[in-house]
Amino acid sequence: MTIDRIRAFNRFYTGRIGLITSRFLNSDYSLVQARFLFELNRGESVHAADLARRFSLSADYVSKIVSKFEAQGLITRTPSPEDARKQILAPTPAGRFAYQELKKRSNARIAEMIAGLPVEETGKLIDAMTTIEKILDPDTSPSSLVTLRSHRPGDIGMVIHRHGVLYAREYGFNHEFDAYVALGMAGFIQAISSREHLWMAERQGRFIGSVAIVRRDDHTAQLRWLIVEPGHRGQGIGRQLVAEAVRFARERDYRAVTLWTIDFLHSARRLYAEAGFRLTETKANHVWGRELTEELWQLDLT
């Protein structure tokens, strides 16, 4: 009875989201190929071996897909600086375009599926999916159980509050830092456009982090208000937030993303370096009650 019920649910769900056909959402790609494109466009360095492990596929099968994508001009391969035997896979402009088209189809299919559902029912649906993940894979890494969502009324106050509390506790910043964050966020929310976004990271409905993309000019975005709660650090959540912000900036056709950080924020600096940002400027300053060195980092998206 249990097996029959699970099989019935699998048939129902795969049919609803369009996975029955051999082509993913009537595209030119199989489901596995589409998943590869999604993974390659997450903004992280990916090796072929990573994909093989992630999807439990043979190295030969992965190699065939990688070779096909390379022949189609969707990806490039470059030797890894850490290990010349490994190759880093990265999407080309054509690969990013293919990914965007697949994402549009996928988003449209999901939007169609949940259209008309009350907010409460949508919440129940998400909770049920989370429960299934936890039961079937109790060893799932903590970062994969994190939900990134768009901001809602009241979230701005939470981000300001947690910045003020954590930076005062960990780095000795004074009340001027609260004002700095509050003024920036007030301007952001009053003039927010379709090329700007604020994400809230949650675990089991509780705030654990945030990040934002803010428009500087037509070609440049700024990454701001990255924060992860102390009890959730070291689990890949900051990396997940940065990757989502960079992905959004690419989608909105920015040519570069900049950010300001401080020289003693070592964990954040490592995240930025891993994501491809490079230090371009430094300046000493006395601000927020202490002496510090601010750093400007930039990521070229072209």
Looking at residue 114, its pLDDT comes to 83
Looking at residue 59, its pLDDT comes to 83
Q: Are residues 162 and 91 in the same domain?
A: no
Looking at residue 207, its pLDDT comes to 92
Q: Can you give the pLDDT of all 302 residues of the chain as single tens digits?
A: 788 888 888 788 777 776 666 677 778 888 888 888 888 887 666 777 778 887 788 888 888 988 999 999 999 988 877 676 777 888 899 999 998 988 888 888 888 888 887 766 776 777 677 677 767 766 554 445 788 999 988 999 999 999 999 999 999 999 999 999 999 999 999 988 999 999 999 987 889 999 999 999 999 999 999 999 988 888 889 999 999 999 999 999 999 999 999 999 999 999 999 999 999 999 999 999 999 999 999 999 98
Residue range of the domain that includes 29 = 2-115
Say how many domains are in the chain. Answer: 2
Looking at residue 291, its pLDDT comes to 94
123 found inside a domain: no
150 found inside a domain: yes
Q: Are residues 82 and 150 in the same domain?
A: no
137 found inside a domain: no
Q: Are residues 110 and 183 in the same domain?
A: no
In Å, how far are 30, 100, 101, 191, 226 from 109, measured between CA atoms?
16, 14, 12, 30, 31
Looking at residue 49, its pLDDT comes to 79
b or e along 4-17 (b: 16 or more beta carbons within 10 Å of the residue's beta carbon)? eeeeeeeeeeeeee
CATH number reported for the structural domain that contains residue 87 in this entry: 1.10.10.10
Q: Are strands 206-215 and 197-203 parallel, antiparallel or unpaired?
A: antiparallel
Q: Are residues 184 and 296 in the same domain?
A: yes
**Plot region of 173 (φ>0 → left; ψ -120 to 50 → alpha; else → beta):** beta
260 found inside a domain: yes
Q: Are residues 296 and 184 in the same domain?
A: yes
Looking at residue 21, its pLDDT comes to 65
Looking at residue 143, its pLDDT comes to 45
89 found inside a domain: yes
pTM of the model: 0.57
Domain boundary among 68, 99, 115: 115
Q: Within 13 Å and on the Cβ side, how many CA atoms surround 248?
A: 24
Q: Are residues 106 and 155 in the same domain?
A: no
40 found inside a domain: yes
Q: What DSSP character marks residue 146?
A: P
Looking at residue 2, its pLDDT comes to 81
Q: Are residues 111 and 151 in the same domain?
A: no
132 found inside a domain: no
Q: Are residues 24 and 100 in the same domain?
A: yes
Q: Are residues 281 and 153 in the same domain?
A: yes
Q: Are residues 90 and 195 in the same domain?
A: no
129 found inside a domain: no
